[in-house]
Each structure stands twice: as structure tokens, then as C-alpha cells.
Chain A
Amino acid sequence: MNIHQNIDPNTTEAALAAAYAARRAALPGGVKLAEIRDEAMARFKTLGLPHRRIEAWHFTDLRRLLAEASALSGEAAAPQVADTGFADLKPARLVFAGGAFVAELSDIEGLGEGVEIAALSAGPLPEWALAQIAARRPAGDNAVFDLGLAMMSDGALIRVAAGCTPARPVEIISMSSGGGSVLRHVVEVGDGAKLRLAEHCSGEGAMTLTAMSIDLGDGARLDHVKVQDEGRSTAHLAPVVGLIGTRAVINSFTLTLGADLAREERHVRFDGDDGGGSISGAFLLSGKTHADTTLFIDHAKPGGQSREVFKGIVDDAARSVVQTSVVVAQHAQKTDARQGIHAMLLSDRAAHYSKPELEIYADDVQCAHGATVGELDENAMFYLMSRGISRTVAEAMLIEAFVFGAMDEIADDDLREAISAYALARLDQRQTHG
């Protein structure tokens, strides 16, 4: 069904196409990338923004939600790096403001042997990065990914050679402002190599689209955490495509806090035997935030192990959406995939929608999912209060206990501590203001 082909582009779609036409010549990357961009924009124009009749967007009608957005217009404000919570890790830093690399605020030296790190706009696009950009995309139609592909103005290129480990973690800081930004990060971790990567997104831009592709070689390992803490007026769109090699491990965790509209998309394909990891997250939603996390986990080879665990609270008139689709291919025997989606609603106007999906084509597998939604447990509240603990503190204790269960999914101790501290600070704020 191609209903979307028969409708006129809405204001936002038209604005995006116009923005592309206006900027096309100035976008970085050379001739080959320009071809990729043009093709992507052509696909975007055909598809239009996704809407609720497209299954993967059932709960997040982007076409409607972005109908009036003045996407990608306006001026970028002067960048100022806020506390991202990762300073203690002394990471290398790539800072992007308003969709452009800011060299003065960045620090990409001293990562050691075998580590290539640069901004996409910094010079001629390296072959490896171009090859990855050309080849990696989510399965099926993906208008948002195509939009990112067409319009990316900058991004981080990070490559760790086989067997190497950077001397310190890498942090990508994106600060959005004005009309927003379109970034594309390209990450390659070679055979047996390791990388710790932290992402922090903040600022107030109309639309921030940050796509990323990740290639993990055989036996490689990536520990990735992301904090999405953008301003209220922002629409944050973040499709990530991961290709995971034999015995490689990806641990990716996203803490969703901000933006009025957020869509985190993870397309992870376990493409070699015995690949594994966790694609998980926590969310603390308030205001009018509509936060959507949609996963497509593809166990294409035998022996894979994955966990998809999401926990969060939804307050005020916020809505959370968590969709986790796990596919186990016919020959991917001995796959072990566990999903858990747990939400706590704290307000009469809050809502939670989830869809933990399993698609199993192999018989010798262990796949399970659990999903719960509910409010604060009144019995537990009474128990705590009967010991003299106030309602506010009791609530905070229970919320913390609930949400922080998800943090256990972060395998790297330093990254877990940083994320936990960030989330805790946010919960404390809630308590103070609440």
C-alpha cells in the first residue's frame, strides 16, 4: 500500500526539500557523496515523512507531529558546552553545534595508535567512511534515515584499527540550536578492537536528526551510552544502524530525558556467529514529551545473545513508546534473546504504548519478553511511609529503584556510573520541583 505517494507534501516536507535544494552545493563530501545524497532525497520525496499507517510508526505519526515544524531554518546560537556528565572519564571530545564541527571546543588528540578520528566536514571523505555511508542503511523504506543521508552537514568519523583500543573514551557532543542540525556519525571498530563511546545531545533546535552507523569487526567490542537531553521545542530523530561481527559485542544504552518529540531507532544485525550485547535504555519523561524507542534486532547467525531492556517513568502529559522487534533467522539456532519493557505512569494524563515483538524462524532458541505498565505500588508506598519516610521521599525511592534496574544493562562501570549520576540528578530535580 503506497497511500503516502498519493498525498501532497505537507509544509515540513516541502520545507525540507527546499532546504536541501538551497544547501546542496555547500554540503561536504565530494561528488560520490553528492550522488548518494541526491538518491536519498529522491527517496525521501517519494516516501514523505512516515505516518501512523506505516507499522513502525504506528504510535508516532511523524507526518502529523512535524506538520508545522520550521525544520532546519534559522540561525545557530553561539555554542557553549554544558556539563555532559562524562568529564570524569577524561574523554576525547568531538563537539558539534548547530550541525557544524567546532574545532576549538573539541579535543581529539592523544588517542593512541590505530585510532582515526575526524569530523566529516574536515576534509576529503576517507574511503572507509564513504564505503560505510554507501552501504549501511536500515532494511526497508526509511524516510528519516534517507533525510539524514541527504542533508548531513557534519558528523564524527571514528575508526579503531584491528586489535587497538583508544587510550581514553570518545565523547560526541551535539548542541542543537535555531533550525536544528543533521549529523551523521560513522563508527568502525576493527577485529578485536574496543571502543567506549559516549554521546550527549542538548540544545534547542527545531529538528535534530542524528544518524549513526556502526560496524563491529569479529571479536570487537563497543560500549556506547547516549544522553538525550534536548530542549522542549525540539524534535530529536536518531536512527542507528549496527552491523555486528562474529563474537563481537555491542552494549548500547540510551537515557531519554528531553525533546518534545524523540525517536530513537536502532537497527542492529548480529551478522556473525555468537555475537551479543544489550540494546537498552531508560526514560524519564515529563511535560508533553512524546518519546519513541523502536528497535529492530536481527539475529542472522547462530549463537547470538541479546537483551533489550527498557524502564522508565512517564509524568505529566508525556507519552512513551517502546517497540522492540527481534527477528531470529532460520539458521540462527541457539539464539538467546530477552526483552523487557517496563513503564510506570505518574500522572492521569500520562500514557505508555509498547510492542515487544518476536519473529522466530529457528526452533532451538530461547526467546522471551515481558512487558508491564502500572503506577507506583501503593502497598510499597504505605510500607515505606509507615516507617516514617515522607510521601515525596518514598516516591523517589521507588522510582529510583524501578528505573535504575535498567542501568544494570550498562556493562562498563565508568559509563554506568556516569549515566546513573546524570539520571539521579534529574530525579532529584523532579523531587525538588515536584
Chain B
Amino acid sequence: MAAVKETIDQVKGIDLDKYKYGFVTNIGSEKAPKGLNTDIVRYISAKKDEPEWMLEWRLDAYERWLTMEEPDWAKVNYPKIDFNDLYYYSEPKSDSDGPKSLDEVDPELLRTYEKLGIPIKEQAVLAGVQGARVAVDLVFDSVSVVTTFKAELAKAGVIFCPMSEAVREHPELIRKYLGSVVPKSDNFYAALNSAVFSDGSFVYIPPGVRCPMELSTYFRINEPNTGQFERTLIIADKGSFVSYLEGCTAPMRDENQLHAAVVELITHEDAEIKYSTVQNWYPGDSEGKGGIFNFVTKRGDCRGDNSKISWTQVETGSAITWKYPSCILRGDNSRGEFYSIAISNGRQQIDSGTKMIHLGKNTSSRIISKGISAGKSSNTYRGLVSAHRKATGARNFTQCDSLLIGDQCSAHTVPYIEANTPSAQFEHEATTSKISDDQLFYCTSRGLGEEEAVALIVNGFCKEVLQKLPMEFAVEAQSLVGISLEGSVG
């Protein structure tokens, strides 16, 4: 993705306090009043022109959320969030009916995406990308702004549209699948999201279709004091395949911003979803001021036999990351994968990992997690591998490595391993180490600067995961690794 290349060029050379995406876009916005109550839920639903059943669903989620407690088991510390001091809905004002084509999009918004390095104009995409084409859905604060390549995707029968549109246009699919992987009351943040989600992406791949291009969503939080609650739902019907990319940025603000997304993936028989994320929300400054609170529930359901879900994530942003992309391996012979690079610097706190729930027969899963902590950050891998009593022949391999840079940071590994059938074979390995002085010396003696050397070594440490990213993302991710660690040595 040329966009990515541009992004890299743009962000090269910045340090932690100069987060490149930290600009604010000055466009008018229409906001719901601060706070959360049933009126706000109704307001959001009405804004989206939703049918009654969707409103009922939201209200039910809201009622459940009221009875729930914020989880406190993760290894993250943050001041108590006042959920009534947030805006739950913000929409760029310029075109309240929603843009019908790119020409109707506020040019200011387009300039924002140019700054972000995302060429949303299809021509730009075509011009910029050699060979590969990427359909992009842009979510700006609470609203999906534009989806590219729609027509071409429609030819293949692929539905790729904003969630709000899917609720109106494809109610049968939404009613069938929404909340079927992450139930409304799954956890505190999922319940909150279910009540107030504003937009997000919806993908449906029909049986036997290999999605003709990568699908991608860019998320951007712009407005202050605004929570972003997007909802993504991807369904891969029998024998289909899709690769989906997700990127996120936000402006630099002194206060914390809340992001509580839900992503649900469903694969039917013989289908495969490959979901890649480069999460680069504003992490706060080096003293821990500001930054995004990222509380995300991502879960995939391998519903059909021989289906596969693969999560790849590069987590470099956010002040707080609370995120466990998981796989429910329900179908026989289904497979789940989790490849993760989590880099924390400054005062960032990451508590992330995965769950592999083996239910079907002969299911397999693989977890490769690389955690890098620098600065005064805290980086936790938390994972669960479990085999149900009937999950005969379940297999898991987990490799979980932590790298510490400096003596002010910390790295933690908290794996839960639960075998309820003797034929399960689980293997878990974890190591913690630092970059050795010898490695650094070797690299610097060959002329590399210390930070370059660190970036090189860390990239080597992460190689297994970087290789799993789609090509277009891999380059961006590699430079992000270096950028995220700037200021961590010396």
C-alpha cells in the first residue's frame, strides 16, 4: 500500500513526543449531548435511521451494561473513567445525509486522510499501489465516511459497507450474526459498545468467493472527549476467503480518549478470515499524559468444519491496551492463529493476548507473541488455551517471548492452560531476555546507530510475526517497530 509507504516516510524521524498523527482536523461536527442514558442510545439509533429491532437490541445492551462492573483483573492502572463525562456520538457536520460519493465528502476531511497517508480516492489507490488494490472503509469519529471500490466488490457478491448501512440494507444478515460471537453482555466494554456503537465495517463474503482484494478500514478519532465505539462484523460463508486490514490513529490530546470496539468474525465450513491490525492510536506523551484507552473485544468463531481464523496484530499505540483477539474452534479440524507484536514505550500499558477455545475435534491453534517493553512501560501477555472434554485431538503450540529494553519497564506472561481431554497436546514456551550488549556492539561496530541497531534487532525478534502480515502492511509495521522504540536506548 503506497499509503503505508507515505505514512512511513511521514513518520520517520519523529520521537515519542512528536506523534505524527497528532494533528486535529478543524471541521464542524454534530455531537450528541455528553453522557450516557437511554435517550443517547435512542439518539444514536435515530441518527442511523435504524429499525426498531436494532434500537431494542441497543437498549437491552444498555440495561445489561448498567448492571456490570468494569473488569479489574488486567495489569493496567488508569484513573477511573467517568462514563457520563464523554460524548458518545460525533459526526462530521458538513453533510448530514452522508456522502454519496467522494465528491461530496468535505475536502477538509479528505485532507485529513491525505495527512494520514491514506489515499481514499480510488485513483490514488490505483496509482499508488503496484499490483495490489485495497478497498478502504474510513471511520472518522463515529461515522463511516466513505467506502471505496464498492461497485467492483459488489460484482463478486462481496458486501463491504459501513455497519449503519448494513443494518438498513442487510437486516437479515445483521439479525443473524450480530452479537452471535460477542454477546451483548460478554463483558463491560462489549456491553457498552453494543449499546452505543456508532459505526464500523460490515463484510459478507458469499460461498466459494475469494475476495478479489484486501479489505481495509482506517479508524480515526478526532473530536475531544469523544469515545469511539465501532463495531465490525465479518462473515465468510462456506469456502470463502478474505483478508482484512485495520489501522488506527488519533490526534494528540492531553486528556485520555476512550475507544471500545467490538469485532466479530464468523467462518463457515472451509472458509478463512485473515485479520490484520496495525494499532497506532496516540499513546500519550513520554510522561503518560493523554493517549487512547483502548478496550477492545475481538473474537472469531470458526463455526464450520475446516475453517480458519488468523489474527495478526502490531500494537504500538494507545496509553492502555486491553485486547484479546480470540478464536472459538467449534468446527472439526478448524484452526486458529494469533500472531502478535506488542511494543510499549513511555508510560504505555499493554495487557493483550488471546484465547484459543478448542471445542471441535482435531482442532489446532498456534500462538506467537512477541512483547517488547521499553521506557517505563508495562507489557503483559495474557492467554488462554483450553480444550473441552469432547475436543479430542486438540493441538496448540504457544511461543511467547518478551524483550526488555532498559530497567524501568516490565514484562509479564500470564498463560492459562486448561486441558480437559487426554488427547489434547498443548505446548507452551516463554522466554524473557534483553538485547545483549554483544548484539548491539556488533551492529554499531558495523556503522549502525544505536537506535537503528535496536530497531534491527527488534525486527529480527519479531520476524516470525512480521512475516504473517500482508505485504502492504509489513513494511509499515517494520518501520513502526523502529519508531515506537525511539528514545528507548542511550
Q: Which residues of A contact B (CB under 8 A)?
A: 1, 55, 58, 330-331, 333, 343, 345-375
Contact = CB atoms under 8 A, between A and B. Distances in A.
Contacts of A374: 422, 424-426
Interface string B396-426: 0000001011111111111111111111111
B18 interface: no
B413 A357 contact: yes
B407 A363 contact: yes
6 contacts: A357-B413, A358-B413, A370-B427, A371-B427, A373-B426, A374-B426
Nearest to A328: B432
Contacts, number: 111
B432 A356 contact: no
Given A363-B407, A371-B415, A373-B417, A356 B428 contact: yes
B417 to A, nearest CB: 5
B430 A358 contact: yes
Interface string B373-410: 00000000000000001000000000000101111111
Contacts of B428: 356, 369-372
Contacts of B410: 330, 359-361
A383 B130 CA distance: 55
A345 B419 contact: yes
A357 B434 contact: no
Given A348-B389, A369-B430, 18 more contacts: A1-B69, A345-B419, A345-B421, A352-B418, A353-B419, A356-B413, A359-B412, A360-B402, A361-B410, A363-B404, A363-B409, A365-B433, A365-B434, A370-B428, A371-B417, A372-B425, A372-B428, A373-B419
Main secondary structure of the interface of B (DSSP, over half): strand
A255 B413 CA distance: 27
B53 interface: no
A363 B427 contact: no
Q: How large is the interface on B (under 10, 10 to 19, 20 to 34, 35 or more residues)?
A: 35 or more
Contacts of B424: 345, 373-374
Given A333-B407, A374-B426, A358 B412 contact: yes
B430 A55 contact: no
Given A1-B72, A357-B414, A358-B411, A352 B433 contact: no
Interface in B149-203: none
A370 B429 contact: yes
Interface centre among A333, A363, A366, A371 (most CB of B within 10 A): A363
Which are the 10 A-B pairs with shortest beta-carbon distances? A345-B422, A363-B404, A371-B428, A375-B422, A367-B432, A374-B425, A358-B413, A373-B419, A363-B434, A361-B410
Interface in B52-104: 69, 72-73
Contacts of B445: none
A390 B402 CA distance: 45
B407 A366 contact: no
B432 A365 contact: yes
B413 A371 contact: no
Contacts of A330: 407-408, 410
A348 B423 CA distance: 8
B431 A368 contact: yes
B407 to A, nearest CB: 5
A363 B419 contact: no
Contact of B416 (A345, A355, A361): A355
Interface in B420-457: 420-434
Contacts of A350: 422
B404 A348 contact: no
Of A346, A350, A354, most buried by chain B (CB within 10 Å of CB) is A354
Contacts of A348: 389, 421-422
A55 B73 contact: yes
A431 B426 CA distance: 26
A11 B412 CA distance: 38
Contacts of B73: 55
A335 to B, nearest CB: 10
A330 B411 CA distance: 11
A364 B403 CA distance: 10
Contacts of B72: 1
Contacts of B432: 358, 360, 365-368
Contact of A356 (B406, B415, B418, B434): B415
Contacts of A333: 407
A361 B407 CA distance: 7
Contacts of A362: 404, 407
B407 A367 contact: no
Given A345-B422, A375-B422, A355 B414 contact: yes
Contacts of B425: 372-375
A201 B111 CA distance: 75
A434 to B, nearest CB: 15
Contact of B415 (A331, A349, A355, A367): A355
A117 to B, nearest CB: 41
B12 to A, nearest CB: 27
Contact of A371 (B69, B406, B421, B426): B426
Nearest to A377: B425
Contacts of A354: 416-417
A365 B419 CA distance: 30
Given A373-B425, A374-B425, A353 B418 contact: yes
B412 A360 contact: yes
A198 to B, nearest CB: 31
Given A354-B417, A366-B433, A360 B426 contact: no
A355 B433 contact: no
A355 B414 CA distance: 7
A355 B407 CA distance: 26
Nearest to B380: A359
A350 B419 CA distance: 9
A353 B415 CA distance: 10
A5 to B, nearest CB: 15
Interface centre among B402, B413, B431, B433 (most CB of A within 10 A): B413
A369 B413 contact: yes
B412 A357 contact: yes
B419 A352 contact: yes
Nearest to B386: A353
A355 B434 contact: no
B407 A372 contact: no
Contact of A364 (B407, B413, B421, B423): B407
Contact of A367 (B69, B409, B431): B431
A372 B429 CA distance: 9
